[in-house]
Amino acid sequence: MIRDKRKFERFKILLNLEIKPTKVATEYLFGIIRNFSQEGFSFVSEKFELEPGENMELRLKHPLRNNFIFAFGEIIWKREVNNRCVAGLKLRAMDKDAKDEILKYAYDKQIKSKGNF
């Protein structure tokens, strides 16, 4: 049996994301969040040159408003697939209210998709 090390449930959600490594001066790269939890998320993005343990600046598209949420996180794992990266990120800094709104939105979508109104 595979044991899941996660403390918090992950919710499937697709959100636009822009990422920028903090150690190099570069433009933001485009990505998509695949799932989201209290502590972090996984995402797919353009290829980037960061390794686990390194930090990134983040701009997440708010799912209910036309604005971005700024955050900061650490790469936990990363895989390169074709010309893309799939990675897991631990959130280090993010507005608590914005995070709570995203989690509520993701939870509500998950419940509705299961038919549990």
* Gyration radius from the chain CA atoms: 14
- Evaluate whether residue 50 is within a structural domain: yes
User: What's the pLDDT score for residue 70?
Assistant: 95
Tally of structural domains, the chain: 1
Report the alpha-carbon distance of residue 70 to residue 75 in Å, rounded: 16
In the chain, % of residues over pLDDT 70: 92
pLDDT(1) > 50? no
User: What's the pLDDT score for residue 14?
Assistant: 92
Report the alpha-carbon distance of residue 3 to residue 37 in Å, rounded: 18
Report the alpha-carbon distance of residue 62 to residue 17 in Å, rounded: 10
- Evaluate whether residue 21 is within a structural domain: yes
- pTM score, two decimals? 0.85
The 10s digit of each residue's pLDDT in 33-71 is 999 999 999 999 998 888 899 999 999 999 988 899 999
User: What's the pLDDT score for residue 2?
Assistant: 45
User: Containing domain of residue 83, as a range?
Assistant: 14-113
**Cβ contacts of 15 within 8 Å, gap of 6 or more:** 32, 33, 36, 60, 61, 63, 102
